[in-house]
Structure 1
Amino acid sequence: MVLPVLGSAVVVLVACLAWGEAVHFGASAASRRHRAGLSCRGRDVAIVVLGFSNRASQPNLVNRWRARIAVRTARLLVRRGARSVRIIWRGGPVMGPVPEAQHLAAALRHAGWHGQTVLEGHSRSTWENIANVRPLLRWDELVALCSNDLHVVKARLYFARQDPDVVERLIGSANYRAGEMVLAKPLFAAVGLHKLRALRPHRH
């Protein structure tokens, strides 16, 4: 009796992990198609890293993940010919005394980033992230958003509502990597899809 139950649990777990991976892959592919023809060669790029709630005094697993995404995105853009790259760290003290942006700053340094950076440590939601980053962006910069891909889709929708001009300057990031954070992807997929359904207008 135990073995069939255990086998069923394994099948459910594998299916859940595969679903989370597939949802993130699909969101990543959609983001790449969004501005597939926009080249960063010879352009300045601002990489905006969206923060994640952090109770502890050190960067948590998700903020370390997003820092790795930002650093590999920066290196990818440099290889593709970007003239300059700077990383903007986002996020206020949502669930702890230390702003999320400070946690991201520490995680970015640990991930090997020593380039140009900007810190914004007041935003307490993704909507505020976008509102507060807009004054920090130069008019001629391309913009790359770093987080999990469903979160990036939400941030892009917020940019479309707050400043459609920035949407035309968004380029792809190296957010998705197969198998990375595989245990967390189903949760982020479920939460992300739920929030996106709430944001998008219903069709009748």
Structure 2
Amino acid sequence: MRWRAGAAIAGALVLGWGEWANRRWSRALVGHGRGVSEAVVVLGYRNPQATANIVNRWRVRAGLRSVTAHSGDTCVIFSGGSTTGGASEAQLMADYAKSVLGFDGTVLLEERSRTTWENVTNVIPLIEDVDRVKIVSQPAHALKARAYLRRQRPDLAKRLVPADDYRLGEWLIVKPLLALYGLWTLRGLEDDERKNSL
């Protein structure tokens, strides 16, 4: 009986840590932003099949819910090249957004990127004229992209605002694993890039 209580407490602590880490990363390196025009940049994930995989489908949904409801001047940018020679990640995500989710807003595609650094580099020309920029992915990955934008274009990084890619309880069971992976993937960030993160 006592070991069950201990296991339950340990499990709750692990789940709580996963929630805390992901929430914190989702709020790091962002400001409040001003203005009405915005770009929601959705980063792709390896997608060998002919339709959007589960990770890219979730990222599309998170991207679309990140669109500010009252903003009539929003574009959604899907970013990611092809890793298999077929359709690009960007195209697969755009197809899912339009045909399955019924999104009819402005969509732009960035189809050359194969790494997060390239995602950021290649979307810069598409976000230079907007007031607010939201980067959507799993929270640690989005933080990494925001840090890369700060390195490449500090002026544009000042326009970063939070996306809706963190929700309490969403992906609850896998959040501790995402947090562990996040710690590994964020190890290359500088101290000042981590100042608002873990």
In structure 1, the residue matched to 2:104 is: 114
For structure 1, the residue ranges without an aligned partner over 5 or more in a row are none
Q: Deviations over 1:81-116 (max 9, x none)?
A: x34111000001225633111221123222331111
In structure 2, the residue matched to 1:17 is: 15
- In the alignment, is the contact (CA less than 8 A) between 2:37 and 2:73 conserved in 1? yes
In 2, the alpha carbon distance for the partners of 1:78 and 1:164 equals 27
Q: Are positions 1:27 and 2:17 aligned together?
A: no
Q: Deviations over 1:49-100 (max 9, x none)?
A: 01111122221111111111111111xx133xx3411100000122563311
Structure with more of its chain in helix, by fraction: 1
In structure 2, the residue matched to 1:39 is: 34
More relative contact order, 1 or 2 (CA 8 Å, 6+ apart): 2
For structure 2, the residue ranges without an aligned partner over 5 or more in a row are 193-198
In 2, the alpha carbon distance for the partners of 1:56 and 1:156 equals 28
1:51 to 18, 25, 44: 44
Q: Are positions 1:91 and 2:91 aligned together?
A: no
In 2, the alpha carbon distance for the partners of 1:112 and 1:14 equals 37
Query: How many residues are matched?
Result: 191
Q: When the two structures are superposed, what TM-score results if normalisation uses the length of structure 1?
A: 0.82
- In the alignment, is the contact (CA less than 8 A) between 1:71 and 1:112 conserved in 2? no
- In the alignment, is the contact (CA less than 8 A) between 1:78 and 1:84 conserved in 2? no
Q: Deviations over 1:132-171 (max 9, x none)?
A: 1112223343211111221121111100111111101111
Give the drift of 1:201.
Answer: 5.0
In 2, the alpha carbon distance for the partners of 1:184 and 1:97 equals 29
- In the alignment, is the contact (CA less than 8 A) between 2:39 and 2:130 conserved in 1? no
Alignment partner of 1:192: what SS? helix
